[in-house]
Structure 1
Amino acid sequence: MSSKFIFNRNSSIIFAAFLISAFIIGIAGALQSPTLSRFLTDEVKVNPILVGIFYSVNAFASIIGSFLLASYSDKKGERRYIVLFCCLMGIGNNLVFALTRNYLILISLGVFFAALASAAMPQIFALAREYAEKTGRNVVVFNSLIRAQLSLAWVIGPPLSFALAINYGFNTLYFSAIGMYFIAIFVVALFLPSVARNQVTPQVIESKLINQNDSILKNKNIIFLFLATVFMWTANIMYLIDMPLYVDEVLHLSKNLPGKLMGLAAGIEIPIMLIAGYLVPKFGKHRLMIFAILCGVFFYIGIIFCQSQLALFGLQILNGLFIGIVANIGIIYFQDLLPTRMGVATTLFNNGVTCSVILGGMIQGFASDLYGHEIIYYIALAMLLISLLLCIQVRTVR
């Protein structure tokens, strides 16, 4: 029985498995990440500088772990098994956070597990791209639908994260995340497909603006796009780290408001991702990326000058446009520039985001400690403007 027949026969089940696994793994991450700065501040009792250092060390370790797994998966690794391994590492990470409040253990053993768990979503997206190409699906739309599940997870996850942490404690929060990983293991093990690597023709390689023997470091498009990704996500990471503290300590608004803002932004991202997938053939990835970054620029201008709860809710429209487009189109952009190395391409995007956590964590920790929370949003605005200039330099890939 041919693999094509199996794919066609089970396409609905496999498609649902991609959606469910992305959603469940996304929920696990969306439970832990939003309250991490508060956990380190309130439970572990560390200062803002140590909070920033933790984010940076965690991010640096994730870059190494995910890139090693990506390189292995592109050469000979079975992506489905790698996703299962990453879920087990996610369970280990949450167990460490649930069982200890020792900063040194968290930043060593906890970060070790987190670094290996971080490759789960890049591997799912790489597997999804290969499966879509193998079965003749629209790659951009297929990716958009899966990426939308991750955003849906961030609609539910942050409000639930704050609710669990505030009302039931952080241990309940982390054990809930462990439960999500167990569900993901079940879905991935039983329903995600194994996909043979495609052979890419020289004509396709030429059309994607890169020779398959070129080093990544020699490709200006990759370098510019990677740097643009780092700077735009640095702004976003600083916002995610600082905003819960800014809302509480500077604006003196509700402690539950950050979770609602994150959830609203993620809710806006979902239709934006789906719409952007259909707009790519008309406008191209490059123009959509430029538009998204401009939305981010105006979002941070709004954050600087608007401080009421209603204004913060309204500004999430711009935030949703920004994140919804760059999170979806950015992955496809890297994959199009590296058509023979899907795992590395997807991980480059993910590691660009992770590098931003290193920068964002350090900048947020030191800048807020020295100059207050307000300075963070001026720095974020500068980051977006730098990202805009870099993205303009990338050659167009439709």
Structure 2
Amino acid sequence: MHMIPASLKKMADVTALAFLLVAFLTGIASALQTPTLSLFLTTEVQTRPLMVGLFYTGSAVIGIVISQLIASYSDRSGDRKTLIIQCCLIGAAGCVLYAFNRNYFILLTIGVVLSTFGSTATPQLFALAREHADKTGREAVMFTSVLRTQISLAWVIGPPLAFALALGYGFKTMYIAAATTFVLCAAVVWYALPSMQKTTVSEAASVESPRQNRLDTLLLFIACSLMWTCNGMYIINMPLYLIQELQLSKNLVGIMMGAAAGLEIPVMLIAGYYAKRFGKQPLMALAIISGLVFYIGLMVFTQVWLLLALQLLNAIFIGILASIGMLYFQDLMPRQAGSATTLFTNTIRVGWIIGGSMAGAVAEIWQYHAVFYIAALMCLVAVLCMLKIKPA
């Protein structure tokens, strides 16, 4: 027991448990919708593959604009707790629309806008958690890392549950379940999470090296976007690479993804524990180098046990990016927790926009494994960006 960090002991109270529960519920709400979206659009809305791709791209672009506007508003005024409740309820309304509407353009416009509000609840939750940790004297890095593991846990449980509901009971039932999750989440936020009053930014804090901070933030944004692009290309092309090029079992795809998701949880906790000792910049560099070796390994190895072993590197790559990357943005943007967290979330959207288009184009011109060469080159650019960020 003496080896348990003091920060973990501090977290064992009602408020911290409420944060963990809300993070898990928002993760479940997202994991119920995202994995089945392409199947929903193809079978229920009956759209062509091109229109499915357009839906993903349009969703990401609309999501970036709306979420950043919400984030800027949240940092300037208003109670973040109230905003999270509103986002959850609007997200629930979006789920109800998806449950009963089958018009493509209504879903692409109204549906995507409502869904974006729902997905924005997560970065706002992490922003509130950071403010709460700073105010109460908690170890913010470890607190956020444990919080982030709840999202990973939700994504271990959510996708199988989503397919079970959609295929067994229909998409209407699945989306109603997601809406119910959002409403439950809003209730927990209302009753258990703290309200954080906005503080006035001091003149000294507001003028502290703004140009350098903006440059560092831009470099971090580019690095994280490239990392998420690599991950997006991998998720899109890896199943086709294993099944069509290597002629391996379809079950291996699920095993590899499950192994990576499971390994990410301890990676996040370990990274959170050692972030204060080694710093966020070296950990992010370690993540990118792990990603580089991972993608090179995919080009070299074809044996099943080696492909499974490589998932440890993939878990280090994504686990550190998902937990430490968010905190790094918050450090570079003090007193702007909402904008910083949403900016990090938008690197995921940018990664999917670029990764989605590149994965198809590269596979069309060359072969499925060719994306791993592109991913390795992107990792090299990302690590250069990371090294150019001014050390704290």
Interval of TM-score (by shorter of Structure 1 and Structure 2): 0.7 to 0.9
Cα distance change of structure 1 residues 383 and 40 upon mapping to structure 2, 3 Å threshold: farther
Cα displacement (A) at 1:175: 2.8
**1:70 is matched with which residue?**
71
1:119 aligns to what SS in structure 2? helix
Q: Provide the residue aligned with 2:109 in structure 1.
A: 108
- 1:35 aligned residue: 36
1:89/1:248 CA distance change after superposition, 3 Å: farther
The corresponding residue for 1:214 is 210
Cα drift, residue 332 of structure 1: 1.1
Is it true that 1:387 corresponds to 2:388 in the alignment? no
What's the CA shift string for 1:280-319, capped at 9, x where partnerless?
A: 1221111110101111112222333445554443322111
For 1:339, which of 334, 339, 345 is the aligned residue? 334
Matches within 5 A, 1:1-398: 12-198=13-199, 205=205, 211=207, 214=210, 219-247=214-242, 258-307=253-302, 309-369=304-364, 371-397=366-392
Q: 1:212 to 1:118 in 2, by over 3 A?
A: farther
Residues in 2 aligned to 1:37 and 1:201: alpha-carbon distance in whole angstroms: 48
Matched letter for residue 286 of structure 1 = Q
- Secondary structure class of the residue paired with 2:195: coil
Separation in structure 2 between the aligned mates of residue 101 and residue 372 of structure 1, nearest angstrom = 35
Give the secondary structure class of the aligned counterpart of 1:194.
Answer: coil
Deviation at 1:22, TM superposition (A): 0.3
SS at match of 1:95: helix
Cα deviations across residues 30-82 of structure 1 (Å, max 9, x unaligned)? 22222333444455454554333222211111111111111111111211111
Which of 129-138 and 367-376 deviates more? 367-376
Kindly state the Cα deviation for residue 339 of structure 1 after the two structures are TM-superposed: 0.8
Separation in 1, partners of 2:236, 2:333 = 32
Contact conserved, 1:52 with 1:364, CA < 8 A, in 2?
no
Residue 255 of structure 1 deviates from its aligned partner by 5.3
The 3-state SS of whatever aligns with 1:396 is: coil
Distance 1:276 1:183 in 2: 31
The 1:93–1:269 alpha-carbon spacing in structure 2 relative to 1, beyond 3 Å, is same
Counterpart residue identity of residue 174, structure 2: L
Task: For 2:122 and 2:84, locate their aligned partners in 1 and report how far apart those are by CA, in whole Å.
Answer: 8
Instruction: Check 1:366–1:347 CA distance in 2 against 1; reply closer, same or farther (3 A cut).
Output: same
Q: Residues 288 and 383 of structure 2 are in contact (CA less than 8 Å); yes or no, is this contact kept in structure 1?
A: yes
> 1:142 Cα deviation (Å)?
0.9
CA RMSD of aligned residues (A): 2.8
Comparing 240-249 with 172-181, greater Cα deviation is found at: 240-249
- Do the aligned partners of 1:56 and 1:358 also contact (CA within 8 Å) in 2? yes
TM-score, with length taken from structure 2 = 0.87
The answer to which of 303-312 and 379-388 deviates more is 303-312
CA distance in 2, matches of 1:198, 1:369: 53
- 1 CA distance for matches of 2:336 and 2:379? 28
Matching residue of 2:5: none
TM-aligned CA distance change 1:135 to 1:52, over 3 Å? same
Q: Distance in 1 between matches of 2:247 and 2:39?
A: 16
Aligned-partner Cα distance in 2 for 1:162–1:245: 20
> Structure 2 CA distance, aligned partners of 1:65 and 1:78?
18
Structure 1 unaligned residues grouped into runs of 5+: 1-8
Worse overlay, 175-184 or 188-197: 175-184
Could you say if the C-alpha distance between residues 213 and 393 of structure 1 is closer, same or farther in structure 2, counting changes exceeding 3 Å?
closer
What is the CA–CA distance in structure 2 between the aligned matches of 1:93 and 1:244, rounded to whole Å? 30
CA contact (8 A) 1:53 1:361 kept: no
Alpha-carbon separation, structure 2, partners of 1:315 and 1:173 = 34
Letter in 1 for 2:68: F
Cα displacement (A) at 1:322: 0.9
Deviation per residue, 1:249-284 (Å, 9 max, x gap): 555656565444333322211111111111112211
Q: Which residue in the other structure is 1:3 paired with?
A: none
Counterpart Cα distance in 2 of 1:211 and 1:52: 43
Secondary structure, counterpart of 2:335 in structure 1: coil
In 2, Cα distance between the equivalents of 1:284 and 1:177? 38
* Overall identity of the aligned pairs, in %: 46
In the alignment, is the contact (CA less than 8 A) between 1:48 and 1:369 conserved in 2?
no
* CA drift at 1:15: 0.5
1:219 aligns to what SS in structure 2? helix
* 1:73-107 alpha-carbon deviations (Å, 9 max, x no partner): 11112111111122123223333333344433332
Check whether the contact 2:87–2:121 (CA below 8 A) recurs between aligned residues.
Answer: yes
